[in-house]
Amino acid sequence: MRTRFFAILALALTTVAISSSSAYALEPRIALCGRVTSFVPAQPPNPPIVRLGTQEPRHLAIGSGTFSQVGQEVCIWGVDVVNVNPPASDPAPKGIAEWQIAPISSIGCADAVTATTAFFTMPGEKASPLPNQATLALPLSAPAGNACVRIAVDAQGNPVAVLLPAIPSPSPSPTPRASVGSLPSTSAREDRGLPALIAIGTILAAIAVIVRRRTIRAIPS
């Protein structure tokens, strides 16, 4: 156990030491996502061991992050480390050096999508000058189209790709039109004006009669 740990640690330290050289670009980087099904805290000189879903358990060497409890749904990424000659009793011959961790919920839509696969680049990896960015590839059960592809976790705790429908842009609301019942009635206005016209006509007729009578009286016989 101690020999294995120091072998992993030595490889991790070597990786850090040559991080500025072109050789570091050849170091494989991986990303694992899923639900934490088991976690063994660090027991010096051995590093912690984590298992996501039914995937192989991994040693975590020289990294940063916190596991609060089993059941977390997380992504872990870093340099892929393999113990070349592990003893038969080795519970985790593989490891992740310079590891980082983030909740799955913080990983957004897939960065690239083909007809069959969705690719998720881990946080901060896009800004890295290295060409071997830690990326998770998940198969698609159906073409994504314009949908957002996210990482989810199945019943066994392993990562799966799910399609979230694209949110349509809201259409402008139509301008409300007045109903027929709310419009003023033309016939009503005409009906209200008719009595006034009749009254005016009656007054004018009466004035005409009076004027006529006065005119007749004013003419000498």
The percent of residues above 90 in pLDDT, for the chain, comes to 43
Query: How high is the pLDDT of residue 177?
Result: 55
Q: What is the mean pLDDT of residues 200-213?
A: 59
pLDDT greater at residue 5 or residue 129 = 129
Q: Is residue 179, in this structure, part of any structural domain at all? A: no
Name the phi and psi angles at 94, rounded to 5: -110, 155
Kind of pairing, strands 159-164 and 148-153?
A: antiparallel
Q: Is residue 183, in this structure, part of any structural domain at all? A: no
Query: How high is the pLDDT of residue 96?
Result: 95
Same domain, 203 and 159: no
Query: How high is the pLDDT of residue 55?
Result: 97
Buried (b) or exposed (e) across 88-117, using 16+ Cβ within 10 A? eeeebbbbbbbbbbbebeebeebbebeeee
Q: What is the mean pLDDT of residues 115-123?
A: 95
Kind of pairing, strands 117-121 and 159-164?
A: unpaired
Predicted confidence band at 15 (pLDDT cuts at 50, 70, 90)? Answer: very low
Predicted confidence band at 207 (pLDDT cuts at 50, 70, 90)? Answer: low
97 three-class SS:
strand
Same domain, 57 and 128: yes
Query: How high is the pLDDT of residue 5?
Result: 46
Query: How high is the pLDDT of residue 87?
Result: 81
Residue 174 has pLDDT above 80, yes or no: no
Q: How far apart, in whole angstroms, are the C-alpha atoms of residue 90 and residue 84?
A: 12
Q: Is residue 43, in this structure, part of any structural domain at all? A: yes
Tokens 């059941």 sit on residue: 71
Domain encompassing residue 139:
2-164
Q: Is residue 171, in this structure, part of any structural domain at all? A: no
| Domain count along the chain | 2
Residue 27 has pLDDT above 80, yes or no: no
Please enumerate in sequence order all residues whose Cβ is within 8 A of that of 141, keeping only pairs 6 or more positions apart, or say none: 161
Same domain, 80 and 154: yes
Q: How far apart, in whole angstroms, are the C-alpha atoms of residue 136 and residue 201?
A: 94
Same domain, 140 and 208: no
The H or E element containing residue 16 is: helix 2-17
Q: Is residue 184, in this structure, part of any structural domain at all? A: no
Query: How high is the pLDDT of residue 84?
Result: 83
Q: What is the mean pLDDT of residues 51-62?
A: 95
Q: Is residue 61, in this structure, part of any structural domain at all? A: yes
Q: Write the pLDDT tens digit of every residue in 90-105.
A: 888 999 999 999 999 9
Q: Is residue 185, in this structure, part of any structural domain at all? A: no
Mean pLDDT (the chain, rounded): 77
